Amino acid sequence: MLSVRELYTEYPDKKGNVVKAAQDVGFEIPEGKLFTLLGPSGCGKTTTLRSIAGLERPKTGIISVNNTVVFSSSSNVFVAPNQRNFGMVFQSYAIWPHMSVFENAAFPLRVSRKRFTKQQIEDKVNRVLSVVALENFAEREATKLSGGQQQRLALARALVMEPKLLLLDEPLSNLDAKLREKMRFELKRLQRELNITTIYVTHDQQEALALSHQIALMQNGRIVQLGTPRDIYEKPASRFVADFVGTTSFLQATVKSRDTRSNEWVIDSEIGTIRMAGNEGLQPGDKITVSIRPENVRLLETADNSVPSDRLLEGTVSTKLFLGEFIDFQIDLGGTLLLARAHPSLRTPIGDRIFVDIDPEHCTLIHN
């Protein structure tokens, strides 16, 4: 549906220095999928989105939608933003304060080059307001809506033109935590029901994991990993990816030997001897970095005989944070802190002894 190839976007900053905002960015988005550009501030994700929208003119590259080229540096093609038929919702919803909810949603139809009858406008607006559950607020002043309702109104205004592509630039960033969580469900429902191809820009890794069919994680203007949310989280391609998406502990380690019976690597690490599955390219003596997610660390108040003795580590509870549905622990293992996440029923006090079991299947080799 959408194809972006070899996109380079550069611009001068206030001092005249060249900012390389997007560097060789390329991806394909199938019809009906939600694709997220994820990364820290300044990584190039918004510039990439604005280039797709036609609000930025890239230095080089090709952008096409349904095999129609909307930008090509080599062919000197640049389709104006208002002719691309894309819907866009910005971080600030840009709701017209002097208009009602109905008139805000109707605005794109009224200023469109294509002429719509009064009845057509009414039908289209009522349909999109119903989709975003605002049909009972049509005559209300837009500024009298809550933050979540204004966000849905901005979506309705973007959807009323039945766009080929929906572009969302941090649309939930102005909402409080509880409302953001609710709106994630709303967005996912709308995207699935309408089957609309969507590009979503965010720096919030939880949003990216929750909403996306596919994620492109960006750093310094480049895509450093492209994959499904599960692949990005469970198989990070670099230390940056593992650190940015979720929480993890990094351990410096040395490969000791291969256990031929279990087909696991025995690893000497900062916290002691651990085991790691897979990774056929390793050799004894290799210096490596291992990533371990806190939810993959099992904590035990007493030694469990069902766990092999060479897999069980003994440490001390250094710090813990009660977060309602779980508790985050920092476990001191010989001077190195390991992050762990456990059920609130585990009440081991700070300073007490605790045992740690790390499943070899959940130790991830990080390529630096």
pLDDT digit string, tens, across residues 38-90? 999 999 999 999 999 999 999 999 999 999 999 999 999 999 998 898 998 88
pLDDT of residue 326: 96
Is-contact 93 153, C-beta < 8 A? yes
Measuring CA to CA, which residue among 99, 19, 60, 44 is closest to residue 224? 44
Contact 30, 195 (CB under 8 A): no
CATH code for residues 2-244 = 3.40.50.300
**For helices 118-131 and 177-194, what crossing angle results, to 10°?**
120
- Residue 278: the pLDDT is 84
pLDDT tens for each residue of 165-219: 999 998 888 778 887 888 888 888 888 888 999 999 999 999 999 999 999 999 9
Would you say residue 342 has pLDDT above 80?
Answer: yes
Find the radius of gyration of the CA atoms of the chain.
Answer: 25
Q: Please state, in angstroms and rounded to a whole number, the distance separating the CA atoms of residues 200 and 216.
A: 10
Please state which CATH class domain 249-366 belongs to: mainly beta
**Alpha helix locations (H) across the chain?**
45-53, 101-111, 118-131, 147-159, 177-194, 205-211, 229-234, 239-244
Question: Helix (H, G, I), strand (E, B), or coil: what is residue 208?
Answer: helix
- Sign of the CA dihedral with 305 first, then 311, 313, and 317 last: negative
Q: Is residue 22 scored above 90 in pLDDT?
A: yes
pLDDT category at 94 given cuts 50, 70, 90 is: confident
Confirm if 105 and 149 have CB atoms less than 8 A apart: no
Is a pLDDT exceeding 80 seen at residue 110? yes
If pLDDT is split at 50, 70 and 90, which confidence band does 368 have? low
- Each domain of the chain, given as residue ranges in start order, spans 2-244, 249-366
pLDDT of residue 341: 97
Residue corresponding to tokens 């198989």: 235
**CB 268 within 8 Å of CB 256:** yes
Residue whose C-alpha is closest to residue 336's, from 248, 249, 239: 249
Three-class secondary structure of residue 226 per DSSP = strand
Domains 2-244 and 249-366 share a fold: no
Q: 265, 282 in Cβ contact below 8 A?
A: yes
Q: In the chain, what's the furthest Cα-to-Cα distance?
A: 77
Distance CA 310, CA 294 (A): 20
Distance between CA atoms of residues 101 and 271, nearest Å: 59
- Rounded to an integer, the average pLDDT of 32-43 is 95
